[in-house]
């Protein structure tokens, strides 16, 4: 079957969704990529995604480097290698619809920047700001004072300008996908940053301001490249809870940002473009970033909350939570998969020991 424009339905649907995203983020250059896709064969990712039914999980067979989700940190006295997992305590991967890449900066003693390319159906390691676990030397000296910790929610992505952000030890680093270079600026959160298209990068403080019950949310407007010696963050709003272990995600379908307090604090807040904060119904269960993952369903705009072997939907428009009663985690007990939604294909890509796709089926009322 073909669309009214004479395109195969798969290409017509994907082009339409891409143009909707382009309009939302104010980008027009992506039209050429849609035109190019008309003449190119389907990717392995697209083939699998379009064949999936709602509610299904499928494994994507993609080539990957050795121990993709781990970093080598040394050897034991016996000579045995020590590898640490770069995920856990995070759900913070990003998808770039222009280059069709899944991106994630992980951390456990060392940083590791990984990417999946839809075009090649391969995983690769990208150069990090410090050069660790990457094929090229870093552009910056490592300023961190501790070798432990996790990346938490310190990844963010600006789709319009093709810039991936990570906040580390007093600096926010920006990676330009176009030329593979890093820049940095002072400031940023120890736990939580997220990009609000059309506004800029938002950072939630882990310590209160003058009022011990108010935590500053600051804004870094787009700079290309970042200014290395100028702290350009400005006040934007204040939240009633800390960014420490909070979970924060922008929702492109609703043009809002969701804040979950975490650390077994059940409070939930949404942020609109004009800075308005709206208190939502509390979570019906305890949740921390250690065990929880939140991702926006690309087809419905529902927030999908994965938490300790369970899955719930949250509809921020009706302020309702619904349990997905038949959910069973398709990963092992000791895996720590990291997700990112792929809006133009209507699926979510998770990675750990396997690369998995999930197409959500909304719960019936």
> How large is the C-alpha radius of gyration of the chain?
20
Co-location of 95 and 21 in the same domain: no
- Record the tokens describing residue 213, joined without a space: 């019950």
Co-location of 35 and 66 in the same domain: no
d(CA 94, CA 328): 24
pLDDT at 132: 63
Co-location of 146 and 195 in the same domain: yes
Co-location of 160 and 192 in the same domain: yes
Domain that holds residue 246: 62-291
Q: Pick the last residue of a domain from 291, 318, 344.
A: 291
Instruction: Answer yes or no: is 175 within a domain.
Output: yes
Instruction: Answer yes or no: is 309 within a domain.
Output: no
Inter-CA distances, 290 with 78, 235, 249, 294, 307, Å? 31, 29, 16, 12, 9
d(CA 303, CA 256): 12
Please give the DSSP secondary-structure letter assigned to residue 63.
B
In tens digits, what is the pLDDT along the chain, a chain of 365 residues? 544 444 444 444 454 444 444 444 444 444 444 444 455 689 999 999 999 999 999 999 999 999 999 999 889 999 999 999 999 899 889 999 999 999 999 988 888 999 999 999 999 999 988 866 666 667 777 766 556 678 899 999 999 999 999 998 889 999 999 999 999 999 999 899 999 999 999 999 999 988 888 999 999 998 878 887 777 899 999 999 999 999 999 999 999 999 999 888 999 999 999 999 999 999 999 998 888 999 999 999 999 999 999 999 999 999 999 999 999 999 999 999 999 999 999 999 999 999 999 999 999 87
Co-location of 66 and 6 in the same domain: no
CATH number for the domain harbouring residue 135: 2.120.10
Question: How many other β-carbons are positioned within 10 Å of the β-carbon of residue 320?
Answer: 14
Q: What is the pTM of this model?
A: 0.87
Please give the DSSP secondary-structure letter assigned to residue 225.
S
pLDDT at 143: 67
pLDDT at 144: 62
Instruction: Answer yes or no: is 339 within a domain.
Output: no
**For residue 268, which of 240, 310, 235 has the smallest C-alpha distance?**
240
Phi and psi dihedrals of 226, rounded to 5? -60, 150
The tally of domains found in the chain comes to 2
């Amino acid at each position: 079957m073909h669309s009214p424009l004479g395109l195969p339905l798969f290409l017509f649907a994907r082009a339409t969704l891409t143009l909707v995203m382009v309009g939302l983020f104010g980008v027009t250059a992506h039209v050429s990529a849609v035109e190019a896709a008309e003449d190119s064969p389907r990717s392995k990712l697209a083939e699998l995604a379009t064949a999936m039914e709602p509610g299904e999980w499928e494994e994507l067979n993609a080539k990957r480097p050795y121990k993709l989700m781990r970093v080598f940190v040394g050897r034991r006295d016996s000579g045995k290698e020590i590898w640490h997992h770069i995920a856990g305590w995070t759900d913070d991967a990003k998808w770039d619809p222009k280059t069709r890449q899944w991106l994630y900066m992980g951390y456990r003693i060392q940083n590791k920047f990984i990417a999946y390319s839809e075009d090649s159906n391969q995983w690769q390691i990208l150069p990090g700001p410090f050069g660790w676990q990457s094929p090229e030397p870093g552009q910056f000296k490592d300023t961190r004072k501790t070798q432990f910790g996790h990346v938490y929610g310190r990844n963010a992505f600006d789709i319009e300008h093709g810039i991936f952000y990570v906040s580390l030890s007093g600096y926010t680093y920006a990676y330009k996908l176009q030329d593979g270079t890093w820049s940095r600026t002072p400031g940023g959160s120890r736990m939580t940053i997220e990009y609000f298209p059309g506004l800029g990068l938002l950072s939630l403080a882990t310590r209160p301001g003058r009022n011990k019950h108010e935590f500053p949310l600051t804004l870094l407007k787009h700079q290309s490249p970042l200014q290395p010696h100028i702290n350009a963050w400005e006040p934007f709003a204040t939240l009633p809870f800390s960014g420490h272990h909070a979970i924060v995600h922008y929702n492109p379908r609703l043009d809002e940002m969701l804040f979950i307090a975490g650390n077994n604090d059940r409070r939930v807040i949404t942020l609109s473009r004009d800075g308005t904060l709206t208190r939502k119904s509390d979570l019906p269960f305890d949740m921390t970033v250690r065990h929880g993952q939140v991702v926006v369903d690309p087809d419905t705009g529902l927030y999908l909350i994965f938490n300790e072997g369970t899955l719930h939907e949250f509809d921020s428009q009706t302020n309702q939570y619904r349990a997905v009663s038949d959910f069973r985690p398709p990963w092992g007990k000791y895996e720590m998969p990291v997700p990112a939604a792929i809006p133009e294909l209507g699926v979510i890509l998770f990675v750990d020991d396997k690369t998995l796709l999930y197409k959500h089926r909304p719960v019936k009322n």
